[in-house]
Structure 1
Amino acid sequence: MSGNSDSRWGVCCSVAFVWFATHFGGGFASGRQLVDFYVKYGWYAVFTPILSVGLIALVLWCAWQFAVRHGVYDYHSWSVRYFEPLGWLEPVFSMLIEAMYLIILLLATGVAFATGGTVLNHIFPDIPYHVGTVGLAVLILSLTIWGSGTVRKASTVMSLLIIAGMLVIYSSNLVANFPRLLQVMRELPEAEGGFWPALWQSVKYAALQCSLVGAYTAVADGLRTARDVNRTTLLGFCVNAGMLTLASVGALLHFPAILSERAPVTYITQHGGGGALGVVLVSALILLAVVSTGVGLIYGSTRRITAWWSARTGRPASRKVDVAASAVYVVASWCVASYGLIPLIAKGYAWVGAMSAPLIVAPILLVAFWRVLRTARTPAVAAEG
């Protein structure tokens, strides 16, 4: 019995780590997203990351519970079934889920390739930028064609390495600059307008991550029960909220100087006691972020294609279909990175977050609330009958 329980906990941990590994992208690793969404609002960055992850956790809990109960894991099948109560609006929201996922797939994975290629070129000047991005593309492709089990295992290993690296960088930074945090906490964030803009920005960050719901449902086939979903959500919340808050507070220590930095994590390392080890860790974290985000997003899209193929042909998709589907998305994302669309992509994150709040997050929560109310009323109706 204990062994079985340990096994279930292991699966829950692995799904939670897919959440973290996908969440930890190039923008998170470089620190630029932290500054744009949290730190520029001053001391609110101490708690607004927790609000963001709390909202993400609520949405993922709804998505996972439904996926496990109905056995739908690719994001198209999931969205079609999930939004059935909306009647004629169901196709609209299903299409929105699809469109937003594809947009963020190209944006985030394109940024990942571009960032990773730049880092590799910086570490190994003899390796051309495009050769580095091709190498990363091959690595991501090789990790996405063997099914959700491989994705979960790879994400678990990468997550543990990322967490260890972040603890080294940001803990040493916190120790070296703690008095500065107290000073920042006493200052009001006048430049950005106070609490409400900070709150809205944290909601946009959560909505941006929720647009990736398809990547998270794709690996939920390892979960079996509502208890598994509860455990996964709690573990994922603790890991993501803890790391996001630690990184945001670490960047906040250098407010307001850090606001103008293109790669804030480099500034943090230079002023946080990391030394040469910190420089190496930063490069390693960014490369891990590239791979971890790419694997989660590409696999979510691959699962969508293989489910469509199975429904069309009446038989399970072959390995060739897996490889072909993954390759299409890898090449498309690589092309985005190759054309140097980083400024456009950076603006795209804010746009996707603002659009996802009303078009993805709100409908998912409203449908979940409606189902809770319907379930609560059912026993009373049955009793009366």
Structure 2
Amino acid sequence: MNKLIPAYLAIAFVWFSSHFGGGFASGRQIVAFYLNHQWTSLFMPAVSMLIMALSLYFSMLIAAKYEVYDYSRWSKKLYGSASTVMAPLFEILFNSLLVLVTAVAFATGGSTIAKAFGTSYMLNTVAIAAIIFVLTIYGADLVRKSATVVSIILISCIFIIYVPNIVYYFPKILANFAAIKNGEIATGSPNTLMDSLWWAFKYGALQCCAIGAYIVHVQACPDKASLKKATIVGFFINTCIMYLTYFGILAFVDQGVLKEAVPSLFVVMHGVGGSWMTVLISLCIVIGAVSTGVALVYGTTNRLVNYFGRNMTEEQKENKRKFHSVIASAFLIIACWVVAQMGLIPLIGKGYGNIGWVSLLILTLPVLLRGFGLWRFSEDVAEKVTTE
């Protein structure tokens, strides 16, 4: 795989496939965090992804330097002498995100398939769970390969869906943007720059919660130059796709798209392309849901596998790795599936903003402060977390 796709590019694709979940594919996250706010939200997707890129880069430096590829050991290196308090808080944060986002993935994918094919919601979620299970028990290499394939499919679909609409409706996009700027179209939030920045910071921090799913792949390219490339390429891909979605939905804000549960579906039904694009966006939503579930579940699976083998020799751990992976993945997927069946999805959706600001305090700020050398929890760890 590395001969065809460099490891740094595979990591960038893991970032994108994790970011591009059911919530993003539906367009709801772009509306909630950006288009629901004033005109300065135009700049905020780039701000959010810059926060994410810097946090990911500094986090990967720690993982590579100290060879800590599960989020539990990694967090101890991040927090140093403060890890007694901070590491458990981060673990609670990451696992809360895992359960919530993967449950949303089950629900979004299950509902989309039910609407498209008329099949049972419960059976649909079982099928999605089975796919995620298979992809997570065969190791990081398969996760990277699947992320690469999924990312290429999703990027192609997004271009097919949004580029024709952006080109065709470009004058309308400009008019709608001017109407938002002049207050003729209400966005539903305080019309302040600080409001836009706050939501941009929360979105970037929300994505940082998934750092545990990325650092496991650092062992594929632990040198600083490759990690820098992964960060730059990942920033470019994610920011570009966010803006395609942003402008595609912006073309329809005068038609009430901001109040739609699935804005991207509204775009394809009322824009360029016709009914076949409805099938395409449905496919995007399902694939996005699966890709996010795979990345997050695998990140925690690796943590549990290391925990199961904590008292074993290296040889014993290697012999038991596949068995432990099966047990860990099954446990996590069943837990997330149960949450999805309990009807907690509306509460989960409302919780995203709260997870964002909690992550900003517990994870994003410490990582950035450590990365820029502004705050050192312990000298032995902080020494290498620099931008040099």
Same fold, judged at TM 0.5 (above): yes
Q: Which residue of 2 aligns with 1:307?
A: 306
CA distance in 1 between partners of 2:182 and 2:58 (Å): 34
- How far 1:81 moved relative to its partner? 1.5
**Which deviates more, 358-367 or 144-153?**
358-367
- How far 1:64 moved relative to its partner? 0.6
Out of 320, 323, 326, which is 1:323 matched to?
326
Matched, 1:341 2:341: no
Alpha carbon RMSD of aligned pairs, Å? 2.0
Matched, 1:254 2:257: no
Alignment of 1:112-151 (within 5 A): 112-125=105-118, 127-151=119-143
Amino acid at match of 1:336: V
Alignment of 1:179-328 (within 5 A): 179-187=171-179, 188=181, 190=183, 191=186, 192=189, 193-256=191-254, 257-314=256-313, 315-316=316-317, 317-328=320-331
Superposed CA offset, 1:101-147 (max 9, x none): 1111111000000111111111221x211011001100100000011
Amino acid at match of 1:34: I
Q: What is the number of equivalent residue pairs in this alignment?
A: 369
Amino acid at match of 1:63: S
**Which deviates more, 297-306 or 42-51?**
42-51
CA distance in 2 between partners of 1:19 and 1:334 (Å): 23
Asked whether the equivalents of residues 57 and 231 of structure 2 are also in contact (C-alpha less than 8 Å), the reply is: yes
Amino acid at match of 1:26: G
- How far 1:372 moved relative to its partner? 9.2
**Which deviates more, 322-331 or 263-272?**
263-272
Asked whether the equivalents of residues 177 and 250 of structure 2 are also in contact (C-alpha less than 8 Å), the reply is: no
CA distance in 2 between partners of 1:236 and 1:206 (Å): 14
Q: Which residue of 1 aligns with 2:51?
A: 55
Amino acid at match of 1:120: I
Percent identical:
36
Amino acid at match of 1:301: T
Per the alignment, do residues 371 and 305 of structure 1 end up closer, same or farther by CA in structure 2, a change over 3 Å counting?
A: farther
Asked whether the equivalents of residues 107 and 333 of structure 1 are also in contact (C-alpha less than 8 Å), the reply is: yes
CA distance in 2 between partners of 1:372 and 1:14 (Å): 31
Secondary structure, counterpart of 1:313 in structure 2 = coil
Amino acid at match of 1:93: M
Matched, 1:171 2:179: no
Amino acid at match of 2:170: F
CA distance in 1 between partners of 2:334 and 2:39 (Å): 41
Alignment of 1:149-160 (within 5 A): 149-160=141-152
CA distance in 1 between partners of 2:13 and 2:375 (Å): 28
Matched, 1:74 2:73: no
- How far 1:238 moved relative to its partner? 0.6
CA distance in 2 between partners of 1:223 and 1:242 (Å): 24
Asked whether the equivalents of residues 269 and 275 of structure 2 are also in contact (C-alpha less than 8 Å), the reply is: no
Moved over 4 A (4+): 6-9, 371-375
Asked whether the equivalents of residues 268 and 274 of structure 2 are also in contact (C-alpha less than 8 Å), the reply is: yes
Amino acid at match of 2:28: R
Gaps of 5+ in 1: 379-385
Q: Which residue of 1 aligns with 2:386?
A: none
Asked whether the equivalents of residues 114 and 121 of structure 2 are also in contact (C-alpha less than 8 Å), the reply is: yes
Amino acid at match of 2:200: S
CA distance in 2 between partners of 1:38 and 1:20 (Å): 19
Q: Which residue of 1 aligns with 2:359?
A: 356
**Which deviates more, 17-26 or 182-191?**
182-191
Gaps of 5+ in 2: 384-388
CA distance in 2 between partners of 1:44 and 1:189 (Å): 12
CA distance in 2 between partners of 1:272 and 1:343 (Å): 28
CA distance in 2 between partners of 1:329 and 1:240 (Å): 27
Superposed CA offset, 1:140-192 (max 9, x none): 00000011000000000000000000001110110221111111232327542
Amino acid at match of 1:284: L
Amino acid at match of 1:31: G
CA distance in 1 between partners of 2:298 and 2:57 (Å): 20
**Which deviates more, 235-244 or 314-323?**
314-323
Asked whether the equivalents of residues 45 and 249 of structure 1 are also in contact (C-alpha less than 8 Å), the reply is: no
- How far 1:194 moved relative to its partner? 2.3
- How far 1:7 moved relative to its partner? 4.2
Secondary structure, counterpart of 1:218 in structure 2 = helix
Amino acid at match of 2:208: C
Give the number of the structure whose residues are more often helix, by fraction.
1
Secondary structure, counterpart of 2:261 in structure 1 = coil
Q: Which residue of 2 aligns with 1:91?
A: 84
Amino acid at match of 1:311: R
Asked whether the equivalents of residues 209 and 363 of structure 2 are also in contact (C-alpha less than 8 Å), the reply is: yes
Superposed CA offset, 1:178-228 (max 9, x none): 111111232327542221101110100001000111001112211130001
Amino acid at match of 1:345: I
Out of 21, 31, 38, which is 2:27 matched to?
31
Asked whether the equivalents of residues 101 and 214 of structure 1 are also in contact (C-alpha less than 8 Å), the reply is: yes
CA distance in 2 between partners of 1:63 and 1:371 (Å): 15
Superposed CA offset, 1:221-267 (max 9, x none): 11130001001001100101110111112112222421110110111
